Amino acid sequence: MSTPRPGSVVFQNIRKQFGAFTAIHDLSIAIEPGTLVTLLGPSGCGKTTTLRMLAGLEHPTSGRIIIGGKDVTMLPANERDVSMVFQSYALFPHMTSLDNVAYGLESSGLKRKEARERAEDGLKLVGLAGMGQRLPAELSGGQQQRVAVARALVLEPQVLLLDEPLSNLDARLRRSVRTEIRDLQQRLGFTAVYVTHDQDEALAVSDRIIIMKDGVIAQEGTPRDLYEAPASAFIADFMGEANVMPCEVIAVQGADATIRIAGLEHKVPSRNARLGAARLAVRPNSITLEAASNAPFPGRITHAAYLGDHIEYEVETADGSLFVVDPGVERALTPQTDIAIGFKGRGIAIISG
């Protein structure tokens, strides 16, 4: 194991039961200092439970949690050097935003004057200089969220924890606040563990993503790994739309595998592929539609929908129906047109599960 550095996080074989129900099965994670790692997964998969165990708000049934090289498994929340930004913001409604940010500093023993100075700096950091005297109710949702982030950051924790921090914001604001959080994290270089069920948000903010399903890790990797090389149909579908199709692996050579589907042969990353029957996850925009003459993999357009900057097609093939996104809006194919299916170089992966 590498030397522990401040801000590193390790989960070793964490299990969490609530009575007879096992919410987390044997979870092991290692997070590098200064990175933003997202726990992503459908509702109920155990994201919040994992984050709360890191915060010290829940204790694991077994396993160890190590922050900055120190075993904190049994430590209470206030001795862990982490702070959490809650989905609901959890601001004190009767206190100004400055007092909200200063509160944690004062409770940790800082003199009032110094706490307020640090709180001013915190508000400045999140773009709220001069707003210190406002009550939470006098701020927009996005501004309240920034106060909550400032309040967590001024404590200079080793790790910042964010649980669905954008879910109370409207769609337009979500994009700008997520950019702000990511900018701040990169600028200040702190470690962050971010929880969301939204794959776009996870792709946009993360260095690494851990996808969870039913209390276990389904796959972990960079946003690009997960999108371009999903290990299973669940991941392929969860990380955006995908066509899952049967294929045959006809050759494996080092990093490349050649697959055949209908009469079409194509090279894809081999990963752990074995010869024989397999399944392929194909992104809708990785399929090309060509003229039908002597097509190795023929299909027929069944539906076409013009969506401004792309056209969505449904294509019937011998291997099932495919969903295709074509940026070529200048050429619209009409239903009943016979076409030849081709694959682009990216966005096609052999999947195991």
Ligand X SMILES: Nc1ncnc2c1ncn2[C@@H]1O[C@H](COP(=O)(O)OP(=O)(O)O)[C@@H](O)[C@H]1O
Q: Is 143 a residue that touches Mg ion (CB under 5 A)?
A: no
Q: Is 232 a residue that touches ligand X (CB under 6 A)?
A: no
Q: Which lies closer to Mg ion via its Cβ, residue 97 or residue 196?
A: 196
Please give the angle made by the CA atoms of 260, 264 and 265, to the nearest 5 degrees: 55
| DSSP letter (8 states) at residue 27 | E
Q: Considering only residues 8, 35, 38, 48, which one is a binding residue for Mg ion as defined by CB under 5 A? A: 48
Query: Near ligand X by CB under 6 A, which window of 18-26, 167-175, 225-233, 332-340?
Result: 18-26
Residue 259 identity: I
CB of 195 to ligand X, least distance (A): 7
CB of 18 to ligand X, least distance (A): 3
Q: Is 59 a residue that touches ligand X (CB under 6 A)?
A: no
Residue with tokens 């979870």: 27
Between CA 252 and CA 272 the distance in angstroms is 9
Query: Near Mg ion by CB under 5 A, which window of 27-35, 41-49, 165-173, 249-257?
Result: 41-49
Q: Considering only residues 31, 47, 245, 289, which one is a binding residue for ligand X as defined by CB under 6 A? A: 47
Torsion sign over Cα 266, 272, 275, 276:
negative
Q: Considering only residues 18, 188, 246, 335, which one is a binding residue for ligand X as defined by CB under 6 A? A: 18
Query: Near ligand X by CB under 6 A, which window of 41-49, 135-143, 259-267, 343-351?
Result: 41-49
H or E stretch including 141?
Answer: helix 141-153
Between CA 219 and CA 230 the distance in angstroms is 8
Q: Is 193 a residue that touches ligand X (CB under 6 A)?
A: no
Q: Is 46 a residue that touches ligand X (CB under 6 A)?
A: yes
Q: Which lies closer to Mg ion via its Cβ, residue 48 or residue 144?
A: 48
Q: Considering only residues 34, 44, 141, 269, which one is a binding residue for ligand X as defined by CB under 6 A? A: 44
Q: Which residues of 234-268 are buried (b: 16+ CB within 10 A; e: fewer)?
A: bbbebbbebbebebebeebeeeebbbebbebbbeb
Q: Is 49 a residue that touches ligand X (CB under 6 A)?
A: yes
Query: Near ligand X by CB under 6 A, which window of 38-46, 108-116, 290-298, 312-320?
Result: 38-46
CA dihedral 161, 213, 223, 238 (to 10 degrees): -130
Strand partners, 253: 256
Q: Which lies closer to ligand X via its Cβ, residue 40 or residue 101?
A: 40
Q: Which does 44 bind (CB under 5 to 8 A by kind): Mg ion, ligand X, none?
A: ligand X
Query: Near Mg ion by CB under 5 A, which window of 2-10, 20-28, 48-56, 254-262?
Result: 48-56
Q: Which residues of 13-31 are buried (b: 16+ CB within 10 A; e: fewer)?
A: ebebeeeeeebbeebebeb
CB distance 148 to 86 below 8 Å: yes
Strands, E, within 204-337: which ranges? 208-213, 216-221, 243-253, 256-261, 264-269, 276-282, 287-291, 298-306, 311-317, 320-326
CB of 45 to ligand X, least distance (A): 4
Q: Burial-class residue 60 by CB neighbours within 10 Å (0-12, 13-18, 19+).
A: buried
Between CA 341 and CA 147 the distance in angstroms is 52
Q: Is 43 a residue that touches ligand X (CB under 6 A)?
A: yes
Q: Which does 45 bind (CB under 5 to 8 A by kind): ligand X, Mg ion, none?
A: ligand X
Q: Which lies closer to Mg ion via its Cβ, residue 238 or residue 297?
A: 238
Q: Which does 240 bind (CB under 5 to 8 A by kind): Mg ion, ligand X, none?
A: none
What are the residues binding ligand X (CB under 6 A)?
Answer: 18, 21, 23, 41, 43-49
What are the residues binding Mg ion (CB under 5 A)?
Answer: 48
